[in-house]
């Protein structure tokens, strides 16, 4: 009922296709302004393009990336040929056609995602972490047992049994334990999952999973355990977290009454956007570095590390950078990491506190603004709210039937 998830897509195109590259140039295509934002546009790079021509592509795309972060890059042949990039080429995924909208899972045509995540920084020991992986694996593998009413999709899912077990809280873990310990935990965890999948698949008499691991962006889900999202560092010690909520949700007036800022959604007339002032928690008493304090080189190296030691699918990463001091480095960094990564996207840092887009999911604010927002808040009245939400949900989709009403 909170309606935080919306349909999204990824559009994959060629570097030489000017029409594709200008899909978000709303001066050229003003009719696309209302919906073009919903697509993550990425350029596909293949191995038959020479090294020199690949570098030229990266250089030609640089100014577009500096302007608004797009397009991203998808090295499709890396995704087809490799699992973890530290492991030998296996060509397991030679049938894939693209990737999901956030880029963490390569997919065949008609295939669907099967994602879960654990919170690596919330585990006190390696054994505890392995046990959390076991639970996430059993959940995902069990999901793959279900029947899908689209026959083609059902056939592919049951053949591939593709999973995408992800980690969030990576920045928190690095702050606590360092990069070398992260490598050990990830590598140990991945090898544990491979063995677990062999044993479980044999016991259940189903195929082993073609791939097991991803790094997904996480977003809202990582807020519940209080960790950083996916591989990303927090944008600020204090920031606004925005969440979309259906405008007829009974929480809306209660959030307003409690002092939260509730705005009309600039994109969806059927929704409101609620602002939650948020403060980044510390990791074992240590302050977690902010995105703006982690260089573009450090972020690229972390993404490559996760692709090396963890993700046999892909790492979903949005590399933040300073337009003036780091934007010019993008072509050389793409050339440096093109053999050890599968997908990447970029986003310019906010300039002087100004967001790149209106109603961004995260927006940095200073401590004074955070304290001012917090001072206006009161406890949200949630009495009887569960009954009202369940009543509304059952009205439309109760049991095996859904009723559509005008």
**What is the structure's pLDDT at 193?**
98
Confirm whether 104 is a catalytic residue: yes
**What is the structure's pLDDT at 71?**
94
Q: What's the pLDDT tens digit per position in 103-115?
A: 999 999 999 999 9
Question: pTM of the full predicted structure?
Answer: 0.85
Q: What's the pLDDT tens digit per position in 279-290?
A: 887 877 889 998
Q: Just give the CATH number of 9-237+280-365.
A: 3.20.70.20
Distance CA 327, CA 301 (A): 16
CA distances to 10, 217, 290, 404 from 281, in Å: 32, 19, 12, 44
Q: What's the pLDDT tens digit per position in 217-233?
A: 987 788 888 899 999 99
Closest among 92, 149, 72, 97 to 303, alpha carbons compared: 72
Opening angle at CA 98, ends 359 and 110, nearest 5: 100
Mean pLDDT computed over 348-372: 78
Mean pLDDT computed over 18-31: 89
Instruction: For the chain, give the mean pLDDT.
Output: 89
Distance CA 19, CA 257 (A): 47
The answer, yes or no, to whether residue 123 has pLDDT greater than 50, is: yes
Catalytic residue among 102, 117, 326, 363: 102
**What is the structure's pLDDT at 289?**
92
Catalytic residue among 70, 81, 104, 117: 104
Q: Is 401 exposed, middle or buried (0-12, 13-18, 19+ CB in 10 A)?
A: exposed
């Amino acid at each position: 009922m909170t309606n935080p998830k919306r349909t999204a897509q990824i559009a994959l195109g060629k570097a030489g296709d000017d029409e594709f590259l200008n899909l978000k140039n709303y001066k050229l295509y003003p009719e696309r302004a209302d919906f073009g934002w919903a697509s993550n546009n990425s350029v596909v790079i293949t191995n038959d393009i020479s090294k020199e021509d690949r570098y030229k592509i990266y250089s030609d795309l640089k100014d577009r990336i500096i302007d608004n972060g797009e397009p991203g890059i998808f090295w499709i042949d890396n995704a087809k040929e490799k699992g973890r990039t530290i492991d030998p080429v296996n060509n397991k995924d030679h049938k894939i056609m693209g990737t999901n909208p956030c880029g963490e899972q390569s997919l065949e045509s008609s295939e669907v995602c099967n994602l879960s995540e654990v919170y690596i920084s919330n585990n006190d020991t390696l054994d505890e972490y392995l046990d959390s992986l076991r639970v996430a694996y059993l959940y995902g593998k069990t999901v793959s047992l279900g029947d899908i009413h689209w026959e083609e999709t059902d056939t592919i899912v049951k053949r591939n049994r593709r999973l995408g077990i992800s980690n969030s809280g990576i920045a928190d873990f690095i702050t606590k334990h360092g990069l070398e310990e992260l490598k050990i935990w990830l590598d140990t965890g991945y090898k544990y999952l491979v063995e677990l999948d062999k044993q479980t698949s044999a016991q259940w008499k189903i195929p082993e999973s073609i791939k097991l691991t991803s790094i997904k962006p996480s977003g809202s889900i990582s807020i519940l355990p209080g960790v950083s999202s996916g591989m990303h560092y927090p944008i600020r010690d204090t920031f606004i977290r925005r969440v979309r909520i259906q405008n007829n949700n009974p929480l809306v007036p209660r959030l307003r009454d409690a002092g939260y800022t509730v705005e009309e959604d600039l994109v969806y007339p059927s929704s409101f956007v609620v602002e939650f002032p948020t403060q980044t928690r510390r990791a074992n008493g240590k302050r977690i570095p902010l995105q703006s304090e982690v260089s573009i080189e450090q972020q690229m190296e972390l993404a490559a590390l996760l692709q090396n030691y963890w993700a046999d699918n892909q790492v979903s990463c949005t590399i933040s950078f300073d337009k003036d001091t780091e934007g010019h480095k993008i072509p050389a960094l793409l050339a440096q990491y093109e053999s050890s990564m599968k997908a990447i996207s970029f986003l310019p840092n906010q300039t002087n506190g100004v967001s790149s887009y209106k109603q961004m999911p995260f927006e940095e604010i200073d401590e004074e603004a955070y304290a001012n927002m917090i001072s206006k808040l009161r406890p949200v009245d949630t009495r009887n709210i569960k009954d009202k939400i369940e009543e509304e949900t059952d009205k439309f989709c109760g049991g095996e039937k859904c009723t559509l009403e005008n």
